Amino acid sequence: MKKPLLHALQGHTDGPVPIWLMRQAGRYLPEYRKLREQAGDFLNLCYSPDLAAEVTLQPIKRFGFDAAILFSDILVVPDGLGQKVWFVVGEGPRLEPLGDGKALAKLDPGKMMSKLTPVFETVSRVKSELDDKTALVGFCGAPWTVATYMIAGAGTKEQAPARLWAYKNRDDFSTLIDLLVESSILYLKGQIKAGAEVLQIFDSWAGSLTEGERQAWCLTPIERITQAIKADHPDIPIIGFLRGAPGANVKLAGINAIDGVGIDTACDLEQTRREVQTLKTVQGNLDPIALLAGGASLDAGIDLVLEKLGGGPLVFNLGHGILPDTPIGHVTHLVERVRAYSKENRGV
């Protein structure tokens, strides 16, 4: 039997509903917190293959998820390109902001690949330890989301600095997006070469753009990246995730090289079933806060996703990353409930 995640991403509905969670390796796990303390710096953890591989595998050992997601961060790409990146505990990422277009000339995709060698090493170590049921997911941030951090130097409210840059310095912004398209292709191909079996592209801040800007800076770059990957690796499924832009999921699903569409907590499930799931496999939607809450609210949330989308190709996941305070027992319960659904409704 094929790995359930790969089977579901090929559009099949006769296997179990696979389950994994965005940010499944993270601070809600005591074993992660322990190792994170040992590593000290967050980027150091991302660049230490033995530790990063162990962290990637922690949630697999504990919960038996159907996928392991490479432990890294979307911001290793700007770091690899030569922009200074660091993480402030309790606050989040910091980068030396790009300032103006002149800074772009210093960014070098050629150098990036050697700087990111430890990440590829993590991928191959994890791959060698996975069983024949668990798929390995590689990822990158979509160009727009990565650009928002590169321009502002941190997370920002409504991504205003990047949106302003895009309006005022259109040519420079376009050059930056092109550079990130090129870098993402190299980076994702490197992950495939090292053993990644599925890819996910995170466009976490797609929701702050107008329809026109979203087409230019989110959808078109994602289409370029996925086409380039598929040209060399037609069998590697790719999941796109535009957070905060439910209306754009139909367009995302319409991209040939996209196999799965990640849906956030705000998506209308009935509309997703009719307009998106008829085109591609869908993944996600459970509210991370329902998982934090547990009890009847969690069960109702799980059941709603399964009831609305379980009839078609589905990957069970959250609508955004798991929260650090989430009780471990709630995650165990979630996995059991989704697996029980597959037994009862799909006989597997």
Q: Which residues bind ligand CP3 (CB under 6 A)?
A: 22-27, 36, 42, 69, 71, 73-75, 87, 92-93, 139, 141, 145, 155, 202, 204, 321
Q: How far apart are CA 329 and CA 34, in angstroms?
A: 19
**44, 87 contact by CB (below 8 A):** no
DSSP letter assigned to residue 240? E
Residue with smaller CB distance to ligand CP3, 141 or 310: 141
Residue with smaller CB distance to ligand CP3, 58 or 310: 58
Closest among 238, 201, 197, 87 to 149, alpha carbons compared: 87
Q: How far is CA 73 from the centre of its chain?
A: 10
Q: Is 163 a catalytic residue?
A: no
Q: Is 73 a catalytic residue?
A: yes
Please compute Rg for the chain using Cα positions: 19
Which residue is catalytic, options 28, 32, 36, 214? 36
Name the β-bridge partners of 201.
Answer: 140, 240
Which residue is catalytic, options 23, 163, 224, 243? 23
Q: Which residue is nearest to ligand CP3 (CB)?
A: 204
Residue with smaller CB distance to ligand CP3, 28 or 165: 28
How many CB atoms are located within 10 Å of the residue 291 CB?
A: 23
Q: Is 149 a catalytic residue?
A: yes
Terminal-to-terminal C-alpha distance of the chain: 11
Minimum Å distance from CB 79 to ligand CP3? 12
Q: Is 36 a catalytic residue?
A: yes
Minimum Å distance from CB 234 to ligand CP3? 24
Name the β-bridge partners of 88.
Answer: 92
Q: Are strands 238-242 and 260-263 parallel, antiparallel or unpaired?
A: parallel
Minimum Å distance from CB 13 to ligand CP3? 26
Minimum Å distance from CB 241 to ligand CP3? 8
Residue with smaller CB distance to ligand CP3, 242 or 310: 242
> How many Cα neighbours within 13 Å face the side chain of 289?
3
Which residue is catalytic, options 149, 224, 243, 259? 149
Residue with smaller CB distance to ligand CP3, 140 or 258: 140
Phi, psi of 26 (to 5 degrees): 180, -165
Which residue is catalytic, options 66, 73, 259, 264? 73
Q: Is 170 a catalytic residue?
A: no
Minimum Å distance from CB 56 to ligand CP3? 8
Q: Give the residue numbers annotated as catalytic, written as ranges.
A: 23, 27, 36, 73, 149
